[in-house]
Structure 1
Amino acid sequence: MRLEEVFDIVRQKRLAVVSTVDNSVAPEAALVGFALTERNEIVFDTLGSSRKAVNIAHRPAAALVIGWDNDITVQIEGDARRPQGDDLAYAKAAYFREWPDGRARENWPDIAYIVVKPRWMRYANYAGAPVIKEFTL
């Protein structure tokens, strides 16, 4: 399994569980709809007042689990940010390609976009003999 094959699997998915930690280092997890950019970064929208957005503002890191059907899963850990300027326009364009209905939320006063740049990934296929492959990016 090559890294690009793992990104191809991620590209086929629409939902992820994203985990962050708060100031007391307590975990928080949420289900999000996401898109994968051409730079292989994860982007999703949320409310700026949500726990995940607040946590990322204080600790700019996130972990995601993508795919759990067919005994295949991809885990990602990475650096998280709220993009600005051209980076925000790029992230929103990628997100709206996958989630056209996201445009309806674009003008919400508290909408926020989060981008996660993967640092580490783990592909696991438990159908039959387990196949597990880790990548450091």
Structure 2
Amino acid sequence: MNREEFVAFVREAREGVVATVDAKGSPEAALVGLAVTDAGDVLFDTYTVARKVANIRVNARVAVVIGWDDGVSVQVEGVAAVLAGAEREACGKVYLEQFPGARALADGFSLVRVVPDWLRRYDARTDPALVTEGHPWHG
């Protein structure tokens, strides 16, 4: 899956499940709205007091499962960052273009960017299912 295909897929799916782990190694998963930059970085907003924000500050490695409509999903592993300053403003603009009226830049909310370093596309529309995986365009 190249960058353009990934970006189009995320923009169509618009949501996914992000998984993090806390300082003790306990998992936490949450359904979130997902936006994506043209560069393929995945964005989501959340309450600043949410567990996932605290978890990312301790361990930036995350997994995200995007989509499932029509039997296709993409699993993403990567490094997450809670954005601040100019990065938050720039990515917030991208997020708001895809989710007008969202609270990504509001007080009490955080904006998170995930830079994918591994992708797995699963297409169950065929028998057997078509599975492709590998390292994407970032490093």
- Is the 1:6–1:123 contact (alpha carbons within 8 Å) kept by the matching residues of 2? no
Q: Does 1:92 align with 2:64?
A: no
Consecutive unaligned residues in structure 1, runs of 5 or more: none
- Find the residue that maps to 1:74 and give its secondary structure: strand
Q: Does 1:136 align with 2:135?
A: yes
- Is the 1:3–1:135 contact (alpha carbons within 8 Å) kept by the matching residues of 2? no
Indicate the residue corresponding to 2:122 in structure 1. 124
Q: Does 1:30 align with 2:30?
A: yes
Alignment TM-score, normalising by the size of structure 2 = 0.90
Consecutive unaligned residues in structure 2, runs of 5 or more: none
Indicate the residue corresponding to 1:106 in structure 2. 105
Count of matched residue pairs:
135
- 1: CA distance between counterparts of 2:22 and 2:133? 27
- 2: CA distance between counterparts of 1:20 and 1:36? 19
Structure 2 counterpart of 1:27, one-letter code: P
Give runs of aligned pairs for residues 36-75 of structure 1, distance below 5 A: 36-75=36-75
Alignment TM-score, normalising by the size of structure 1 = 0.91
Identity fraction in percent: 35
Indicate the residue corresponding to 2:6 in structure 1. 6
* 1:2 Cα deviation from its structure 2 partner: 4.0
CA distances 1:73-127 after superposition (whole Å, capped 9, x unpaired)? 0000100001222211111011001111114x6333x211100000100001011
- Find the residue that maps to 1:101 and give its secondary structure: coil
Root-mean-square deviation (Å): 1.5
- Is the 2:15–2:34 contact (alpha carbons within 8 Å) kept by the matching residues of 1? yes
